[in-house]
Amino acid sequence: MSVKIEKIRVICTAPEGINLVVVKVETNQPGLYGLGCATFAYRHMAVKHVVEEYLNPLLVGRDAEEIEELWQLMHQNAYWRNGPIENNAISGVDMALWDIKGKMAGMPLYQLFGGKCRAGIPVYRHADGRDLAELCENIQRFQEMGIRNIRCQCGGYGGESYGTLPQGTPRGANPGVYLDSRKYIRDTVKLFEGIRNKIGHEMNLVHDVHERIAPAEVIRLAKELEPFDLFFLEDPVNIEQTEWLRRLRQQSSIPIAEGELFNNPKEWKSLIAEQLIDYIRVHISQIGGITPARKLAIFAEQFGVKTAWHGPGDMSPLAHAANIHIDLAAPNFGVQEWSGIEPPNVVIQDLKGPHGALLEVFPGLPEFEDGYVYANEKPGLGVELDEKEAAKYPCENTVTVWTQTRRMDGALQTP
């Protein structure tokens, strides 16, 4: 008997103060359902609406086993395609269908992708600090946990916190996160020099530019960072300016990772085919889920480009698990960002919600141990959702301020 989709529901929850969007696809088979991540933390109600009002009626009664057919159907149904709200909504359903497929097969998803080609997933963590001393303390704390790859930032992505108007801004400037890009470049170069002097060369170091400075400035930063042997420079240019990567490539040997904001194959095809980047790091729900992410990983493999999927706090454990399953089976996997999930014994900086709540809402999330993450061996994604626990942490609709990044003259700069 074929497995039919009976209902598609959305559950929104914020166990750590970040809005997470989960899609549940229910079938006509007793006890058989799938879960997927559709998290677009800053537009969660819009995604919920697309899933429940458009994708649910489109897919009810359809065969849950036909993942490719249903993905194409969702992707083309609204005529206009590749937008972040639509792609996240599609991702929620897509991951849930893969979860169902794995449960039907009685296998963890990585088995359906060809099986493991590595035993564990090396991750990079985020170390931050107000100054070099604090940052190095945090790096050493991660080193003691077995971490070998670490992203190093000073005061987030540089600049002042929201609402602080620094000296030198014009009269009447709007509130924002102000960044003096020249100072940021000077401070960042000094920071990496300091880190290498203090901790030596054992750790692999990453720095995230977060698209916050002009492309011409990135070239200077990359050249000045070369002596400090970075693992990669993350998202150096904004997605509208990726032609600059060709020039960056010509002028610097620094490895480049780009793509956490990508939406559309047009944005990555030529960057990969021309080998202008070393690591492709999309946010997999943002491109439409596991189906397109698997295709992207295989495409990148042909050109010697590695994967380093986005793994921030503003995605659910279901999406982290999806990353890990793809990583386990991808020969061209590079490294996995790991910021959103902490075992209960680890102290979390800047946590907004109660500690450990995420683990209670999402039992079964991948385990971290000694620098590596491991998927559990349960069928499908292997992550559950406790809906009663989830209901204790309702999402909030607030105005997002961290994205209001500004140059010193008050003009907005991509965040």
Residues 331, 149: Cα–Cα separation, whole Å: 19
Least distance (Å) between residue 350 CB and Mg ion: 16
Calculate ∠ Cα 108-111-117, nearest 5°. Answer: 120
Q: Which is nearer to Mg ion, 33 or 184 (CB)?
A: 184
Residues 85, 45: Cα–Cα separation, whole Å: 10
Q: Which is nearer to Mg ion, 88 or 153 (CB)?
A: 153
- The label of the residue with tokens 């659910």 reads 316
* Residue 84: other Cβ atoms inside 10 A: 18
Give me the catalytic one of 33, 110, 124, 157.
Answer: 157
- The label of the residue with tokens 């166990």 reads 15
Q: Is 157 a catalytic residue?
A: yes
Least distance (Å) between residue 211 CB and Mg ion: 9
Contact 166, 408 (CB under 8 A): yes
In the chain, how many H helices and how many E strands? 14, 15
Q: Which is nearer to Mg ion, 103 or 125 (CB)?
A: 125
Least distance (Å) between residue 338 CB and Mg ion: 12
Q: Which is nearer to Mg ion, 208 or 224 (CB)?
A: 208
| Residue 380 parent element (H or E) | none
Q: Which is nearer to Mg ion, 97 or 147 (CB)?
A: 147
User: Do strands 20-27 and 336-337 pair parallel, antiparallel, or not at all (unpaired)?
Assistant: unpaired
Instruction: List the alpha helices (DSSP H) in 311-415.
Output: 317-329, 357-361, 387-391
Least distance (Å) between residue 166 CB and Mg ion: 24
Instruction: List the alpha helices (DSSP H) in 132-243.
Output: 132-144, 181-199, 215-225
Transcribe 213-257 into DSSP letters: S-HHHHHHHHHHHGGG-EEEEES-S-GGGTTHHHHHHHH----EE
Q: Is 210 a catalytic residue?
A: yes
Q: Which is nearer to Mg ion, 18 or 329 (CB)?
A: 18
Least distance (Å) between residue 41 CB and Mg ion: 14
- The label of the residue with tokens 């960056």 reads 248
Give residue number: closest CB to Mg ion.
208
**Helices 215-225/181-199 angle, 10° precision:** 20
Residues 328, 373: Cα–Cα separation, whole Å: 10
Give me the catalytic one of 126, 210, 283, 320.
Answer: 210
Contacting positions for Mg ion (CB under 5 A):
208
Least distance (Å) between residue 137 CB and Mg ion: 22
Q: Which residues are identified as catalytic?
A: 157, 210
